[in-house]
Amino acid sequence: MMAVSCVGSGPSVKRHVAIGVGAAALLLLVYVGIVSAAQGLDHALDQAASLWYWMLLLAAGLGAQVGLFSFIRQGLRERRAAEAANVAASGGVSAGSMVACCAHHLSDVLPILGLSGVAGFLASYQVFFLIVGILSNAIGITMMLETIQKAGLCPLVARLPWDITRIRKGVIASSAVVAVVALVITGGAQV
Protein backbone atom coordinates (compact mmCIF):
# COMPACT_ATOMS: atom_id res chain seq x y z
CA MET A 1 0.00 0.00 0.00
CA MET A 2 1.37 3.39 -0.98
CA ALA A 3 1.65 6.02 1.73
CA VAL A 4 0.38 9.42 0.69
CA SER A 5 1.55 12.55 2.42
CA CYS A 6 -1.33 14.93 2.91
CA VAL A 7 -1.65 17.97 5.09
CA GLY A 8 -2.87 16.53 8.34
CA SER A 9 -1.73 13.04 7.33
CA GLY A 10 -0.70 10.23 9.63
CA PRO A 11 -2.60 9.70 12.84
CA SER A 12 -4.68 12.85 12.32
CA VAL A 13 -6.27 11.41 9.14
CA LYS A 14 -7.72 8.73 11.39
CA ARG A 15 -9.15 11.56 13.47
CA HIS A 16 -10.98 12.98 10.45
CA VAL A 17 -12.34 9.54 9.57
CA ALA A 18 -13.52 9.10 13.17
CA ILE A 19 -15.19 12.51 13.07
CA GLY A 20 -17.02 11.53 9.88
CA VAL A 21 -18.12 8.18 11.29
CA GLY A 22 -19.29 9.93 14.44
CA ALA A 23 -21.34 12.41 12.40
CA ALA A 24 -22.97 9.58 10.44
CA ALA A 25 -23.81 7.74 13.65
CA LEU A 26 -25.17 10.94 15.19
CA LEU A 27 -27.44 11.50 12.19
CA LEU A 28 -28.85 8.00 12.55
CA LEU A 29 -29.35 8.48 16.29
CA VAL A 30 -31.11 11.81 15.70
CA TYR A 31 -33.38 10.12 13.15
CA VAL A 32 -34.29 7.31 15.55
CA GLY A 33 -34.71 9.83 18.36
CA ILE A 34 -37.09 12.09 16.42
CA VAL A 35 -39.24 9.23 15.15
CA SER A 36 -39.22 7.52 18.56
CA ALA A 37 -40.30 10.69 20.31
CA ALA A 38 -43.12 11.23 17.83
CA GLN A 39 -44.38 7.69 17.26
CA GLY A 40 -42.48 5.27 19.49
CA LEU A 41 -39.36 3.16 19.20
CA ASP A 42 -41.12 0.31 17.37
CA HIS A 43 -42.23 2.67 14.60
CA ALA A 44 -38.73 4.16 14.42
CA LEU A 45 -37.20 0.71 14.00
CA ASP A 46 -39.82 -0.24 11.39
CA GLN A 47 -39.07 2.97 9.47
CA ALA A 48 -35.33 2.37 9.72
CA ALA A 49 -35.81 -1.18 8.44
CA SER A 50 -37.84 -0.03 5.44
CA LEU A 51 -35.58 2.94 4.64
CA TRP A 52 -32.22 1.44 5.62
CA TYR A 53 -30.62 1.82 2.17
CA TRP A 54 -31.62 5.50 1.90
CA MET A 55 -30.58 6.23 5.46
CA LEU A 56 -27.26 4.43 5.05
CA LEU A 57 -26.44 6.43 1.90
CA LEU A 58 -27.49 9.67 3.53
CA ALA A 59 -25.54 9.01 6.73
CA ALA A 60 -22.44 7.88 4.80
CA GLY A 61 -22.57 10.98 2.61
CA LEU A 62 -22.97 13.29 5.58
CA GLY A 63 -20.16 11.48 7.39
CA ALA A 64 -17.89 11.85 4.34
CA GLN A 65 -18.66 15.57 4.16
CA VAL A 66 -18.01 16.14 7.85
CA GLY A 67 -14.74 14.18 7.68
CA LEU A 68 -13.63 16.11 4.58
CA PHE A 69 -14.69 19.40 6.17
CA SER A 70 -12.59 18.60 9.24
CA PHE A 71 -9.62 17.64 7.04
CA ILE A 72 -9.90 20.82 4.98
CA ARG A 73 -10.30 23.04 8.02
CA GLN A 74 -7.18 21.58 9.63
CA GLY A 75 -5.24 21.77 6.38
CA LEU A 76 -6.18 25.37 5.76
CA ARG A 77 -5.34 26.29 9.33
CA GLU A 78 -1.97 24.66 8.93
CA ARG A 79 -1.35 26.56 5.73
CA ARG A 80 -3.13 29.74 6.77
CA ALA A 81 -4.88 29.60 3.40
CA ALA A 82 -7.62 32.03 2.47
CA GLU A 83 -9.99 29.41 1.07
CA ALA A 84 -12.11 29.03 4.18
CA ALA A 85 -15.07 30.63 2.40
CA ASN A 86 -15.31 27.67 0.00
CA VAL A 87 -15.34 25.26 2.91
CA ALA A 88 -18.01 27.23 4.74
CA ALA A 89 -20.21 27.22 1.63
CA SER A 90 -19.89 23.49 1.14
CA GLY A 91 -20.59 22.90 4.84
CA GLY A 92 -24.02 24.39 4.19
CA VAL A 93 -24.75 21.48 1.88
CA SER A 94 -24.24 19.10 4.82
CA ALA A 95 -26.76 21.03 6.84
CA GLY A 96 -29.12 21.05 3.87
CA SER A 97 -28.92 17.30 3.47
CA MET A 98 -29.66 16.78 7.15
CA VAL A 99 -32.66 19.09 6.91
CA ALA A 100 -33.84 17.23 3.79
CA CYS A 101 -33.44 13.96 5.63
CA CYS A 102 -35.46 14.96 8.64
CA ALA A 103 -37.93 17.38 7.06
CA HIS A 104 -40.48 14.67 6.46
CA HIS A 105 -40.54 14.00 10.22
CA LEU A 106 -42.23 17.34 10.65
CA SER A 107 -45.24 15.38 9.46
CA ASP A 108 -45.23 13.69 12.87
CA VAL A 109 -45.68 17.02 14.68
CA LEU A 110 -47.58 19.25 12.22
CA PRO A 111 -51.03 17.66 12.76
CA ILE A 112 -50.74 18.58 16.43
CA LEU A 113 -50.18 22.16 15.32
CA GLY A 114 -53.21 22.01 13.02
CA LEU A 115 -51.13 21.83 9.86
CA SER A 116 -52.16 18.38 8.65
CA GLY A 117 -52.03 19.42 4.97
CA VAL A 118 -48.33 20.24 5.25
CA ALA A 119 -47.80 17.02 7.22
CA GLY A 120 -49.43 14.99 4.45
CA PHE A 121 -47.26 16.65 1.82
CA LEU A 122 -44.05 15.93 3.72
CA ALA A 123 -45.04 12.33 4.41
CA SER A 124 -46.00 11.80 0.76
CA TYR A 125 -42.64 13.01 -0.50
CA GLN A 126 -40.45 11.28 2.10
CA VAL A 127 -38.46 9.28 -0.48
CA PHE A 128 -37.99 12.39 -2.62
CA PHE A 129 -36.58 14.29 0.37
CA LEU A 130 -34.19 11.43 1.10
CA ILE A 131 -33.03 11.38 -2.54
CA VAL A 132 -32.49 15.14 -2.49
CA GLY A 133 -30.44 14.75 0.69
CA ILE A 134 -28.25 12.10 -0.94
CA LEU A 135 -27.79 14.27 -4.03
CA SER A 136 -26.86 17.21 -1.79
CA ASN A 137 -24.22 14.99 -0.20
CA ALA A 138 -22.75 14.17 -3.62
CA ILE A 139 -22.55 17.86 -4.47
CA GLY A 140 -21.00 18.73 -1.11
CA ILE A 141 -18.40 15.97 -1.37
CA THR A 142 -17.31 17.10 -4.84
CA MET A 143 -17.12 20.71 -3.63
CA MET A 144 -14.84 19.64 -0.81
CA LEU A 145 -12.67 17.50 -3.09
CA GLU A 146 -12.41 20.53 -5.38
CA THR A 147 -11.19 22.62 -2.44
CA ILE A 148 -8.64 19.95 -1.51
CA GLN A 149 -7.42 19.80 -5.13
CA LYS A 150 -7.20 23.58 -5.60
CA ALA A 151 -5.49 24.16 -2.26
CA GLY A 152 -3.12 21.23 -2.80
CA LEU A 153 -3.95 19.83 0.63
CA CYS A 154 -3.35 16.26 -0.48
CA PRO A 155 -0.94 15.44 -3.31
CA LEU A 156 -2.96 12.36 -4.25
CA VAL A 157 -6.05 14.49 -4.94
CA ALA A 158 -3.99 17.32 -6.45
CA ARG A 159 -2.42 14.89 -8.94
CA LEU A 160 -5.70 13.37 -10.08
CA PRO A 161 -5.95 13.59 -13.86
CA TRP A 162 -9.49 14.91 -13.55
CA ASP A 163 -10.53 18.50 -13.13
CA ILE A 164 -12.77 18.25 -10.09
CA THR A 165 -14.32 21.63 -10.92
CA ARG A 166 -15.74 20.09 -14.11
CA ILE A 167 -16.79 16.99 -12.21
CA ARG A 168 -18.58 19.18 -9.65
CA LYS A 169 -20.50 20.95 -12.42
CA GLY A 170 -21.47 17.56 -13.86
CA VAL A 171 -22.59 16.32 -10.46
CA ILE A 172 -24.73 19.43 -9.96
CA ALA A 173 -26.33 19.10 -13.40
CA SER A 174 -26.94 15.37 -13.09
CA SER A 175 -28.28 15.82 -9.55
CA ALA A 176 -30.82 18.32 -10.85
CA VAL A 177 -31.95 15.83 -13.50
CA VAL A 178 -32.12 12.97 -10.99
CA ALA A 179 -34.10 15.16 -8.55
CA VAL A 180 -36.68 16.01 -11.23
CA VAL A 181 -36.95 12.36 -12.28
CA ALA A 182 -37.25 11.30 -8.63
CA LEU A 183 -40.02 13.83 -8.10
CA VAL A 184 -41.91 12.51 -11.12
CA ILE A 185 -41.38 8.85 -10.26
CA THR A 186 -42.07 9.08 -6.53
CA GLY A 187 -44.95 11.47 -7.09
CA GLY A 188 -46.00 11.12 -3.50
CA ALA A 189 -45.29 7.41 -3.22
CA GLN A 190 -45.10 6.11 0.33
CA VAL A 191 -42.39 3.68 1.41
User: How far does CA 95 lie from the centroid of its chain?
Assistant: 8
Reported residue count of the chain is 191
The 10s digit of each residue's pLDDT in 97-154 is 444 445 544 444 444 444 455 555 666 777 787 888 888 889 888 988 888 888 888 8
Mean of all residue pLDDT scores within the chain: 74
CB atoms within 10 A of CB 180: 10
Whether pLDDT at 54 is above 70: yes
Collapse the DSSP code of 178 into the 3-class scheme (helix H, G, I; strand E, B; otherwise coil) and give the result: helix
Nearest Cα neighbor of 65 from 103, 27, 31, 10 is: 27
Q: How far apart are CA 67 and CA 18, in angstroms?
A: 8
Rounded average pLDDT over 61-86: 75
58 within 8 A of 130, measured Cβ to Cβ: yes
DSSP-assigned states of every residue in 76-134: HHHHT-S-HHHHHHHHHHHHHHHHHHHGGGHHHHTTTTT-HHHHHHHHHTHHHHHHHHH
pLDDT digits (tens, 9 = 90+) for 69-80: 888 888 877 766
Q: State residue 158's pLDDT score.
A: 77
